[in-house]
């Protein structure tokens, strides 16, 4: 797995989308590993995870700008001179992509284009991880097959389609401009339905569960039978940093292996209804659940989605640590603790997770 201290300590890491849910967890993880961080994102939302754990104090440079602003993005990256870049900045909600398709395509496509254009001209060694989604795959009707990196990409909802655009841009720049240089190496990371403490996005199952209780509202479940690859937030993040380390050290040829899946074990890919049942059984929070009646919807969501992560396991030594029950326990620990304890719990969960990785690799 990752050589946590010797590689990451002192590495200069630039993260786009660092004020978001996954971005905040990535900042906390890399801060524990001793990296020097710079973040480029829109300002954090009020009462976000970024603000709750006061991440601003742990990041050397916080740049609050739009990823679509090429000139500023270029200036900040060249000024910081990062060893590693993680690209997480995105409009990442499926339903929002239906409501604001133009913004979704512009942010997710133009943002990646701007970043690739900057990286193309960096004349020193480095690694870039472009984070996309499991929604990029073309889904065959009624198929229950696991999706691997060689499967066809497809046109889905505006969010998934915008991420396909991002991957095409990344692949084109990698092959056209970076393949002949010994400078920045690029890889694409795809992960499943990432859940964990500190996510407050609307129309995501865990945040909606706790919001319903807080606001004394009923929780409406749209698609109880839809199967998703649920995974604790640290699972894919460890995959991302492991991938970055390997391509930085030239232990993997990212030209041959550009895209990588990071998903949970098959047994942890369960229906929405089962996830809610586990949460209700374990949690002190008991919102009233309403199952939405079947009706025509503009939201064309895939019913069955499971990732095949065998390539990451074989070539990166990456493995799942937590099952879905443990993941729910970690989520409950975070959401159902006092606000003053949130920062301590995040650091504790990262420390425990890194310890389990070390024990598993020894």
Q: Is the pLDDT of residue 248 over 80?
A: yes
**In the chain, how many domains are there?**
1
184 DSSP β-pair partners? 126
Does pLDDT of 3 surpass 60?
no
Domain range holding 212? 4-361
Task: Tell me the C-alpha distance between 31 and 24, whole Å.
Answer: 10
Residue 2 pLDDT: 47
Q: Which residues of 309-329 are buried (b: 16+ CB within 10 A; e: fewer)?
A: bebbeeebebbbbbbbeebbb
**Both tokens of residue 53?**
């754990």
pLDDT at 214 over 90: no
Average pLDDT over residues 338-342: 96
- Looking up tokens 């019913």 gives 303
Q: Give the DSSP letter of residue 318.
A: -
Residue in this structure with the two tokens 């970055």, named with its chain if needed: 244
pLDDT digits (tens, 9 = 90+) for 25-44: 999 999 999 999 999 999 99
pLDDT number for residue 1: 45
Q: What number is the average pLDDT over the span 265-279? A: 94
Look up tokens 């503009």; give the residue: 298
Please determine, for residue 143, whether its predicted confidence score (pLDDT) is greater than 80. no
Which of 195, 143, 149, 180 minimizes the C-alpha distance to 302? 143
Task: Tell which residue, 77, 92, 10, has the closest CA to residue 40.
Answer: 77
Measured between alpha carbons, how far is 346 from 198 in angstroms, rounded to an integer? 9
pTM of the full structure: 0.95
- What is the per-residue pLDDT across 160-209, written as a single tens digit (0 to 9) for each? 999 999 999 999 999 999 877 768 999 999 998 999 999 999 889 999 99
Residue 36: strand, helix, or coil: strand
Write the CATH number for 344. 3.40.50.720
CA distance 327 to 232: 5
User: How far is Cα 190 from Cα 309, in angstroms, rounded to an integer?
Assistant: 10
Q: Work out the burial of residue 148: count CB atoms within 10 Å of its CB; fewer than 13 is exposed, 13-18 middle, 19 or more buried.
A: middle
Mean pLDDT of 259-264: 96
**pLDDT, mean of residues 323-343:** 96
């Amino acid at each position: 797995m990752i050589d946590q201290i010797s590689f990451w300590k002192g590495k200069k890491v630039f993260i786009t989308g660092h004020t978001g849910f996954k971005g905040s967890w990535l900042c906390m993880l890399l801060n524990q590993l001793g990296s020097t961080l710079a973040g480029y994102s829109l300002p954090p939302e009020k009462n976000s995870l970024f603000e709750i754990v006061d991440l601003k104090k742990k990041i050397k440079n916080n740049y609050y700008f739009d990823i679509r602003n090429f000139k500023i993005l270029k200036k900040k990256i060249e000024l910081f001179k990062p060893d590693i870049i993680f690209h997480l900045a995105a409009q990442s909600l499926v339903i929002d992509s239906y409501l604001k398709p133009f913004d979704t395509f512009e942010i997710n496509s133009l943002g990646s284009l701007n970043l690739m254009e900057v990286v193309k001209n960096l004349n020193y060694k480095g690694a870039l991880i472009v984070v996309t989604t499991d929604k990029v795959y073309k889904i065959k009707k009624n198929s229950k097959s696991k999706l691997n990196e060689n499967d066809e990409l497809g046109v889905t909802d505006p969010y998934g389609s915008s991420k396909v655009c991002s991957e095409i841009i990344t692949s084109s720049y990698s092959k056209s401009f970076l393949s002949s240089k010994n400078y920045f190496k690029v890889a694409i990371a795809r992960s499943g339905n990432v859940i964990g403490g500190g996510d407050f996005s609307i129309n995501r199952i865990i945040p909606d569960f706790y919001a319903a209780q807080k606001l004394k509202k009923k929780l409406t479940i749209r698609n109880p039978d839809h199967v998703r690859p649920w995974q604790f937030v640290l699972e894919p993040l460890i995959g991302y940093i492991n991938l970055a380390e390997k391509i930085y050290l030239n232990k993997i040829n990212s030209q041959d292996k550009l895209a990588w899946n990071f998903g949970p074990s098959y047994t942890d890919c369960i229906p929405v209804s089962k996830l809610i049942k586990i949460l209700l059984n374990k949690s002190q929070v008991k919102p009233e659940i309403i199952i939405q009646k079947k009706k025509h919807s503009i939201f064309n969501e895939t019913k069955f989605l499971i990732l095949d992560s065998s390539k990451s396991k074989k070539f990166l030594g990456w493995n799942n640590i937590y099952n879905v029950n443990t993941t729910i326990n970690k989520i409950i620990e975070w959401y159902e603790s006092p606000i003053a304890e949130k920062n301590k719990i995040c650091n504790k969960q990262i420390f425990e997770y890194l310890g389990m990785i070390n024990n598993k690799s020894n």
